[in-house]
Structure 1
């Protein structure tokens, strides 16, 4: 059986076209399937439209959150509720072509545990392309594990990998990083990322920054090491410079027009203070990001809360680890 997980956030303009494309592609899979939409707190008619489709098509299932918990939480919930032996993840905007999924399924049937998509072309603005290019290469450099360059959440995983992901306890999740962390047998397939079919991207600049920080901090301690080595270098430079200035002062020597007995040094002092102050604030900011994420994890709040399930046969569980199972009356439209 194949499970396809698709997060949704205010995608009312694209639901019908997305469903028609998926329906056409599903005929080529030649297997039983389910399509799990995860409504991530949409404020438009996304929920109602998916419910309308689900009433006519039992293959369509819906998970609806109590509010917007974020894209990665929605992907995690879909993977947790998926029942297929192969689980695919893709975005709703059709930038990831569902027609390519059949290639991914074939590779998984050949014995691969994870088949992920590698974006060879992007039909986006130059600035956005540049930001993505820089992000993936910085992530590859900083990460303590090998994370493929230009590989997003578009992928297919087998049940073994999904079970591992579902068992991980962390609430602050970066799914593509966790997918790489599991190891197993993985392969990337190249594809061309299309333009968004309708509507506007819900990933604004700040959301992209937060996603990048999740990737850097959740899978690397190199920023902390960079802070340490930067401090060591600045300390060594300051010591050497101070020693040279002391020699100049005792010998009353002028180097490049500078003599410590004659120069007042106000400008250089202020610039030094500003430089060191900025460096310290930057270092504190990095430490704060790590400490903030530790604080979030220690509170042990769930990554999402589910309000309703549609077309699922098992009881509603509010969040991962919740022992209270609600009755079937709580998950109908």
Structure 2
């Protein structure tokens, strides 16, 4: 059986359409399936719409969080509650083309254990958003060791891969990277990102920045190396300035004043504070992991 995991946050307008489209495609392809919606603490009537869908369709199941825990937690909750031999993760807004699920499933039947949905295009995005996304994926690609520039959460996982992910105890788990990092026999399916039919994106600039920072720090220690790099830069600048000061002293051309000292103090102070900030962020992540709180709390199911 195929489990389709669908995280949903304030998607009351899309629930009926999503059920109808995905259920119709999979029934037509004669694929035994379940649609597992994960309500991520929505503030609208998303949960009520899921309950209505479950009352009219035997394939629909639902899990509701006690509050908003984020998309990563919703995905892992879906994986933990899924009954299928394989699972597909897809967005509720149908920007991921549902007909590609059939193609992924057929590849799984051929023996592939992870089928990655990769973007052939990113749809309509602003120049700033494209630059930020490119920078983020370059960092993640260097951390993971393979290209993630076209990666997405839209993918199919075999039960073997799902069990490996569920056995990881990380609280700040980055599904998009971890599902690729674990290995197994993999292949790709290309797709074009579609425009949202109704409603607006739930990702604000602030939430995207937070999402990027959290996932970068949860998967790689590269930002901590910036502290070392800044230390080297300060050392080189300080060494050059010191040599210049010594030469001027012996030449008798040294000027009175503390301009050089002030500049060095400003540079050194700012780099130290920046470095402490980066280290402090990692310490906060260690603190969260040590507390051992759950990734999510389920309030009710249907």
TM range (shorter): over 0.9
Which TM-score applies when normalising by structure 1?
0.86
1:147·1:177 contact (CA, 8 Å) conserved in 2? no
CA pair 205-111 structure 1, distance change in 2 beyond 3 A: same
Q: Which residue of 2 aligns with 1:172?
A: 172
Q: Match of 2:273?
A: 281
User: Aligned partners of 2:144, 2:94: CA distance in 1, in Å?
Assistant: 32
Give 1:72 deviation, angstroms.
0.5
Aligned mates of 2:144, 2:78 — CA distance in 1: 27
2:289 corresponds in structure 1 to 297
Aligned pair count reads 301
Asked if 1 retains the 8 angstrom alpha-carbon contact of 2:144 and 2:181, the reply is no
Conservation of the 8 A alpha-carbon contact between 1:87 and 1:157: yes
Give distance in 2, aligned partners of 1:43 and 1:64.
12
TM-score, length basis structure 2: 0.94
Match of 1:160 in 2: 160
CA deviation after TM superposition for structure 1 residue 298, in Å: 0.5
Moved more, 153-162 or 95-104: 95-104
Match of 1:262 in 2: 255
Higher helix share: 2
Return structure 1 stretches of 4+ with deviation > 6 angstroms: none
Asked whether the 8 Å contact 2:238–2:264 carries over to 1, the reply is no
What secondary structure sits across from 1:304 in the alignment?
coil
Deviations 1:112-149 (A, max 9, x none): 211111112122332323322222122213x1443522
Q: Measure how far apart 1:306 and its partner are.
A: 0.4
Unpaired runs of 5+ residues, structure 2, are: none
Structure 1 unpaired stretches of 5+: 253-258, 311-333
The Cα of 1:269 is off from its aligned counterpart by 3.8
Residues 192-207 of structure 1 aligned to structure 2 (within 5 Å): 192-207=192-207
CA drift at 1:166: 0.8
- Partner residue, 1:315: none
When structure 1 is superposed on structure 2, of 30-39 and 102-111 the one drifting more is 102-111
Partner SS for 1:61: strand
Which protein is bigger by CA-based radius of gyration? 1
Q: 2:21 maps to what in 1?
A: 21
C-alpha distance in structure 2 between counterparts of 1:264 and 1:107, whole Å: 73
User: What is the rounded CA distance, in whole Å, between the counterparts of 1:134 and 1:262 in structure 2?
Assistant: 44
Aligned-residue RMSD, C-alpha: 1.6
Match of 2:264 in 1: 272
Q: 1-side partners of 2:191 and 2:105: how far apart?
A: 15
